[in-house]
Chains A and B, each alone.
Chain A
Amino acid sequence: MSPSARGRRIGILCAGLLPVAFAWGEYADVILNSRSEAEGVAPVIFPHWFHRIRFRCSVCHVELGIEMRVGSNSMRMDSITNGEYCGACHDGQTAWSVDNCDLCHSGRPGLATGIQGGHQTGGPGKY
């Protein structure tokens, strides 16, 4: 192999490692921005790792009916305020109430809806 060809191959290998070495956020951070920014608020960062310490899967994904696919739930603030989805707990008693906007709407501008990777993975479909 010529030195330049070898250099190219190493370059390609490095490029392949980049998403792993510089993955952002914590594994299983969920970014919700299908509507947020379009409606004038920051994207939501939902820390899945934080919530699973307190609740097993079926609480949210069976009892509250939250689909296990980012972007497939039609969550709107009016439904949350009415006690659906996040609003089942974020009612000011079990957890903080929804008038603390920027505790959930805490993301940087321009983030795409999706789930974050972290150690060793870039998230679903990114390997």
Chain B
Amino acid sequence: MRQKPALVLLTTLLLTLAAGIAAGNWKTLRNDQLHDPSNPSLRVLQDPEEALALLPPDTAGNMVNWVTALQRGIISPRSSLREDREHEILDDDVLMLDTMPLPYVRFPHRPHSEWMGCETCHEKLFVSVAGANAINMGKILDGQYCGVCHGAVAFPLTECNRCHNTDSSTVSGARPGGTLP
């Protein structure tokens, strides 16, 4: 009988977690444990739910599919403070084959460049040479490479199969870091 309280606690936690995943579960600024509820300016600031509930849903992070939101034109964030600046988009996929027992990574340039252009990543975070970036999960979990954004502002690193998305049997003759159309 000694484990009964622990089981009740576990069940409660799992239900809380499930509820959090199932719905947006955005907290109000007044109850988010970050903002000072005595600050009179909170009534001016926007609660996350007011903005995020209108966007295409997802199951992690902000619970918003930011790529779809941009591609469908539901939001149209500015890409420059200058009028004359072109926003470059690259439409190919980069294959990462050194993934040990996990499926290969097929990295789509298009949604990334739609959001970020080129210079946000290149050449500071990633060198634009096939196979020249020593990426591994340890570094990503530590907030480097993909982990600069994923796990911080883009979908979190709990979503393994969104990146490890390509069965090795479906790709032949690819070289590490090579691109696919």
Contact = CB atoms under 8 A, between A and B. Distances in A.
A53 B77 contact: yes
A21 to B, nearest CB: 5
B152 A115 contact: yes
A64 B115 CA distance: 16
Interface in B118-140: 119-120, 125
Contacts, number: 182
A62 B6 contact: no
A102 B6 contact: no
Range, interface on chain B? 35 or more
Contacts of A102: 39-41
Determine the main DSSP class of A at the interface with B.
Answer: mixed
A76 interface: no
A57 B116 contact: yes
A115 B149 CA distance: 11
A58 interface: yes
Interface in B76-100: 77-82, 87
Interface string B13-31: 1101100110001110100
B8 to A, nearest CB: 10
B26 A63 contact: no
21 contacts: A7-B2, A28-B62, A28-B153, A42-B39, A48-B153, A49-B48, A53-B75, A56-B78, A56-B79, A56-B116, A58-B80, A59-B80, A63-B81, A69-B143, A102-B40, A106-B45, A108-B33, A119-B25, A119-B60, A121-B156, A123-B152
Nearest 4 interchain pairs by C-beta: A121-B156, A7-B3, A24-B33, A124-B143
